[in-house]
Amino acid sequence: MRLKKICLSISTHTTNIKGEITIIKSYQQVLKELIDSISDVSSSIEEVELAESLPGIGNYTASVLISEIGHISNFKNTRKITAFCGLDPAVKESGNFKGTKVCISKRGSSHIRRVLYQAAKKAVQKDGIPALRDYYQEKIKTKPKKVVLMAVMHKLIKYLYAVLRDRKPFRNISKEEHLKNYNTMNNTNKLAA
């Protein structure tokens, strides 16, 4: 008698589990269709294409970033967009107490931080952005991995801001070329003044 109840109970639970698996599979199919339609719609948006020019940022990441950020003209400078993303430092102080541990504020969207974290991990890999990879390799010697990845996320959002502001796709340049461009710009500014 007791064995029949146990077998019936197991049979009922098996049926319930199979039903739940069917529901999960149907949700996965709907999610796949939604991601495909987001990809189709976002491929015609100029800002998404510009964001995709950054190594480590694919269509999904670019779509999330652009949908969360909106138009880049909403931000006057990189500090504003960094704060919007919740990557700005949060200092904990009270009265005479001055906190020594500084962490990110996390005021912004967690979706932005999640996709930026994944993009930062990709950007420091072999096929990523050489300047960020070199920065990561240097900083990882003295700081924890996640702290350095947060710094890379901060730099990545600055790159994204520049790409969207200037409406030019990202291009990797060497340190020498960067210094040459910087010196040329400074000389032009001095002559104009």
> What contacts 160, CB < 8 A, 6 or more positions away?
51, 54, 57, 65
Structure-block tokens of residue 163? 């790409």
Range name among 11-25, 61-75, 117-131, 143-157 with the lowest pLDDT average: 11-25
CA dihedral 164, 167, 168, 170 (to 10 degrees): 10
Task: Place 191 in a pLDDT band, splitting at 50, 70 and 90.
Answer: low
pLDDT of 161 higher than 90: yes
Model pTM score: 0.77
Q: Which residue has the higher pLDDT, 7 or 141?
A: 141
Q: What mean pLDDT is predicted for residues 168-174?
A: 86
Cα torsion angle, 147, 106, 113, 170, sign: negative
Q: What mean pLDDT is predicted for residues 51-75?
A: 90
pLDDT of 36 higher than 90: no
* Distance, CA of 24 to CA of 22 (rounded, Å): 5
- The Cα diameter of the chain in Å comes to 98
pLDDT digits (tens, 9 = 90+) for 98-134: 666 777 778 888 889 999 999 999 999 988 888 899 9
Residue 142, φ and ψ in degrees, nearest 5: -120, -10
Structure-block tokens of residue 66? 């652009």
* Distance, CA of 118 to CA of 149 (rounded, Å): 10
Residue 51 · residue 164 · CB < 8 Å: yes
Question: Which residues on neighbouring strands pair with residue 90, listed in sequence order?
Answer: 103
Greatest mean pLDDT among 68-72, 176-180, 189-193? 68-72
> What contacts 25, CB < 8 A, 6 or more positions away?
none
The predicted structure's pLDDT at residue 122: 92
Range name among 38-42, 65-69, 74-78, 141-145 with the lowest pLDDT average: 38-42
Instruction: Count CA within 13 A, CB hemisphere, residue 123.
Output: 33
Task: Place 189 in a pLDDT band, splitting at 50, 70 and 90.
Answer: low
